Amino acid sequence: MKTLIWVEHDGKTVKDATLAVVTAAAKLGEVHLLVAGQGVDGVAAEAAKIAGVGKVHVADDAAYAHALAENVAPLVVSLMDSHDAFLAPATSNGKNIAPRVAALLDVMQISDILSVESDDTFTRPIYAGNAIATVQTKDAKKVITVRGTAFDKADTSGGSGTIEKVAATGDKGVSSFVNAEIAKLERPELTSAKVIVSGGRALQNSENFHSIIEPLADKLGAAVGASRAAVDAGYVPNDYQVGQTGKIVAPEVYIAVGISGAIQHLAGMKDSKTIIAINKDEDAPIFQVADIGLVGDLFKIVPELTEKL
């Protein structure tokens, strides 16, 4: 089987999310990549070095500069005559593009896979991760999005893919990019961090969030996350949110501070290797999934912990 992977990149480098997709695609057969964007020769060169990659298709055109699904999907479709499966990371861009491709190919997409059981059978989470479904597809072409935390990342070196230019399919003219506001991160990225310190509503306000959660995160070299309650209350921006509707993370260590553990939050972090909970309510549901729990006042415990580390 020949697979085609949509490469997530920022115009300069390949994003980590793509590497997990390469590992998933390698289980299906020959791995080809698609680098679409504007001025992406550097990205293509980097992509060709990823271990296990056969061919790197490069579509360099202004129409692909902002990964608009309306323009990227027809490009992918133009390459699907010679490929059997299309895979994308389950990132916001991947989730935006892949279903449009599936509809144009008249196939049903398999979202957010956790494993490849065989050529046509995959597992995926449903009901906020409270159940795992094994699904088999009857479609001739497969369209799949891959959960990044469920597969190891392919090596970024050792590969020797061949780079091939592909013809642009043009700007469909139904949508245009206006602007983007990307938060500046001084800490590791949430989805790839080894350690995450996450805060909830119990922090009470934005000042406390910054003065209590961030010093602990910095001591541990950790990324900072948040529950929906903390985001809704405005303590931190939306993209800090971990959960069914936010980011799905699976770090080595997840420290939940003042988070009760609603099922929607657990959906985003319960595959973490070790979960540590700090909460004053000893009946909080978070303690049912925590490997290590500490019951007490976070305003006393967390600064003390930061101090002792």
Partner 1 sequence: MKVLVPVKRVLDYNVKPRVKADGTGVDLANVKMSMNPFDEIAVEEAIRLKDKGVTEIVAVSIGEAKCQETLRTALAMGADRAILVQTDDKVEPLGVAKLLKAIVEAEQPQLIILGKQAIDDDNNQTGQMLAGLLGVGQATFASKVELAADSVTVTREVDGGSETDKLSLPAIITTDLRLNEPRYASLPNIMKAKSKPLDQKTPADYGVDVAPRLTTLKVVEPPKRTAGVKVADTDELVAKLKAMGVAK
38 assigned ligand-binding residue: no
* The binder of partner 1 chosen from 3, 18, 23, 93 (CB under 8 A): 93
What is the distance between the alpha carbons of residues 102 and 145, in angstroms, rounded to a whole number?
A: 11
Looking at beta carbons only, is 13 or 176 nearer to partner 1? 176
What is the distance between the alpha carbons of residues 69 and 174, in angstroms, rounded to a whole number?
A: 11
Binding region for partner 1 (CB under 8 A) out of 68-76, 150-158, 161-169, 203-211: 68-76
Binding region for partner 1 (CB under 8 A) out of 23-31, 50-58, 136-144, 206-214: 136-144
Q: Which two tokens stand for residue 307?
A: 């101090």
Instruction: Tell the smallest beta-carbon distance from residue 291 to partner 1 (Å).
Output: 4
Residue type, 171: D
CA dihedral 116, 122, 125, 131 (to 10 degrees): -110
Looking at beta carbons only, is 103 or 166 nearer to partner 1? 103
Binding to partner 1 (CB under 8 A) within 198-257 occurs at: 219-220, 228, 232, 237-239, 244-245, 247, 252-253
What is the distance between the alpha carbons of residues 165 and 56, in angstroms, rounded to a whole number?
A: 8
- Per CB under 8 A, 81 contacts partner 1: no
The 95-114 site mask, x for binding partner 1 (CB under 8 A), equals xxxxxxxxxx-xxxxxxx--
C-alpha distances (whole Å) from 252 to each of 73, 117, 135 are 35, 25, 29
Cα–Cα–Cα angle for 255, 259, 261, nearest 5°?
100
* The binder of partner 1 chosen from 25, 28, 53, 73 (CB under 8 A): 73
